[in-house]
Amino acid sequence: MFMRRTLPRLTPYLFLIGPLILYFIWVVGPMLYTIYLSFTNWDGVSSPAVIGWRNYQKLFRDPVFYISLTNNLKWMLCFITIPVVAGLALALVLNRNIPGAKFFKTSFYSPMVLSLVVCGLIWSWMYHPAKGLINETFRAVGLHVLAKGWLSDRRLVMWAIIAVGVWRQVGYVMVLYLAGLQGIDPTLVDASRVDGCNQWQTIRHVILPLLSPVTVVVVVISIIDSLRAFDLVSVMTRGGPYYSSSVLANFMYIEAFNNYKMGYGAAISVILFLLSAVFIFIYLWRVLQTELEY
């Protein structure tokens, strides 16, 4: 009798044992080992030797670290503004029954189908100073002064790479907002119009508040994507020229796998993890608060 009552209660937990074991082996274990390596001077070949906080002390005196962190912050600022505003605007327009809406939805989302490596290669060709599409277009219309070395100018290179990331992100944000708009009760919008609200007032006082959960998800995802930016930088510039386009993930990769400073690279990855964890915990706390309200 005891077994009949106990086993059904334990069954869900028994099914979780396998996935939890794999999670600890492939996620938690390497994460803890990385934290340990951050306190060593391991070169990837010899045995790790514990050196305490020296990697972190060196890191916080390294100017490249601050350049990389600043570039990540630039990326974050652009990702939580331009794609969010543009994606919301596109979703509001394309959520209506207008001619060609499906075509435009597919067109704006299509960059997300491409991998970041492919996007980086395509835009590298477009940014080519001599034969790139962008400079050739400027020259064709007589705007020679606007033709630049987009990926070789230290002042422009980071913004040029961020523009590629933003171009790809807009369609993704648009789809998230479209999903949110589909969940809004049309009667609420109709009621606002009956009360005399114009289109802008309806968007501001009805639609945007109802889309706030989607906005939280969009902002958190955009922040996390900006912190783990790597592929575009690696393909287009590898952090150059002179580290001017370096980001934390690219800086970590170069130090660990090119310079064979695995301990130092692990310290960079720990800092990157802590930065990401802050926003992840804020998001989880917001979701938990919302669940408790219901």
Instruction: For 120-178, write each residue's pLDDT tens digit.
Output: 999 999 999 988 999 999 999 988 888 899 999 999 999 999 999 999 999 999 999 99
Mean pLDDT over 230-254 rounds to 93
User: Residue 47 — φ and ψ, nearest 5°?
Assistant: -70, 140
Strand partners, 50: 40
Given a contact cutoff of 8 angstroms between Cβ atoms, the answer to whether 276 and 224 are in contact is: yes
Nearest to 122 by CA among 130, 137, 134: 134
**Could you tell me the pLDDT band of residue 234, with boundaries at 50, 70 and 90?**
very high
Amino acid at 130: A
Helix intervals (H) in the chain: 2-23, 29-37, 54-59, 63-79, 82-94, 101-109, 116-126, 133-140, 157-182, 186-194, 199-202, 208-210, 212-227, 231-236, 248-253, 262-293
For residue range 62-114, list pLDDT tens digits in order. Answer: 999 999 999 999 999 999 999 999 999 999 999 888 888 889 999 999 999 89
Has residue 294 got a pLDDT over 60?
A: no
Nearest to 227 by CA among 260, 252, 261, 254: 252
Distance CA 187, CA 100 (A): 26
Residues 6+ apart with CB under 8 A from 217: 176, 283
pTM: 0.88
For residue range 6-62, list pLDDT tens digits in order. Answer: 556 777 778 888 889 999 999 899 999 999 999 999 988 888 899 999 999 999 999
pLDDT given for residue 197 in this prediction: 79
Has residue 4 got a pLDDT over 60?
A: no
Mean pLDDT over 210-228 rounds to 87
Q: Which residue has the higher pLDDT, 245 or 4?
A: 245
What token pair was written down for 60?
Answer: 């916080």
For residue range 173-215, list pLDDT tens digits in order. Answer: 999 999 998 888 888 887 888 777 788 888 888 888 888 888 8
> For the chain, how far is it from start to end, CA to CA, in angstroms?
37
**Could you tell me the pLDDT band of residue 1, with boundaries at 50, 70 and 90?**
very low
- Domains of the chain, with CATH numbers? 25-61+261-294 (no CATH), 63-256 (1.10.3720.10)
pLDDT given for residue 260 in this prediction: 92
What token pair was written down for 66?
Answer: 């601050």
pLDDT given for residue 202 in this prediction: 84
The radius of gyration computed from the CA coordinates of the chain, to the nearest angstrom, equals 24
pLDDT given for residue 235 in this prediction: 94
Mean pLDDT over 265-290 rounds to 85
Give the three-state DSSP class for 48: coil
Amino acid at 64: V
